[in-house]
């Protein structure tokens, strides 16, 4: 099963907020992050007043019920034009894409994220569960 917005529990045509940003390391763009949040999850005023670069940190501070898990798919992709421009790379260069859905403790999706990373700047760790567990 793929964990992407099109097969989540988000209502079609639900109002959303989209937060885009470039992460830099020593002034070099190394990641482009997109978070898509349903409007009912968090007020725009909270994002405008309290957002400091991490949607996860902000949601951890303000959500009730709290966060429980993120389901993330990792893939290598060719940089689309708009992402290549933001990261100052050539269109088609290889990027790591983490596509995720963040759930609250009631298993309701509260954030959809697309994180594009330049290879070589990040070390990712994957924790896998073994045995019987519910997805």
- Per domain, the residue ranges of the chain are 5-117
Q: What is the pLDDT of residues 41-70, one digit of tens each?
A: 988 899 999 988 899 999 999 988 889 999
Q: Which residue has the tokens 């050539």?
A: 90
- Which of 48, 72, 69, 70 lies closest to 58 in space, CA to CA? 48
- According to DSSP, residue 131 is labeled S
Distance between CA atoms of 36 and 59, rounded to whole angstroms? 12
- Which of 77, 37, 76, 81 lies closest to 56 in space, CA to CA? 37
The stretch 27-51 carries a mean pLDDT of 92
pTM comes to 0.82
Q: What is the pLDDT of residues 69-118, one digit of tens each?
A: 999 999 999 999 999 999 999 999 999 999 999 999 999 999 999 999 99
Evaluate if residue 13 carries a pLDDT over 70.
Answer: no
Pull the structure tokens for residue 103: 């759930």
User: CATH fold of 5-117, please?
Assistant: Chorismate lyase (3.40.1410)
């Amino acid at each position: 099963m793929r964990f992407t917005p099109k097969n989540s529990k988000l209502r079609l045509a639900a109002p959303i907020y989209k937060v885009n940003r470039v992460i830099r390391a020593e002034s070099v763009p190394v990641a482009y992050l997109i978070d898509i949040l349903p409007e009912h999850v968090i007020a725009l005023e909270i994002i405008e007043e309290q957002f400091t670069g991490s949607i996860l940190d902000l949601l951890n501070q303000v959500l009730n019920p709290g966060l429980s898990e993120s389901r993330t798919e990792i893939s290598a992709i060719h940089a689309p034009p708009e992402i290549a421009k933001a990261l100052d790379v050539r269109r088609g260069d290889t990027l790591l894409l983490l596509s995720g859905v963040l759930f609250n403790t009631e298993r309701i999706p509260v954030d959809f994220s697309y994180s594009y990373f330049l290879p070589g700047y990040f070390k990712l760790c994957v924790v896998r569960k073994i045995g019987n567990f519910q997805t």
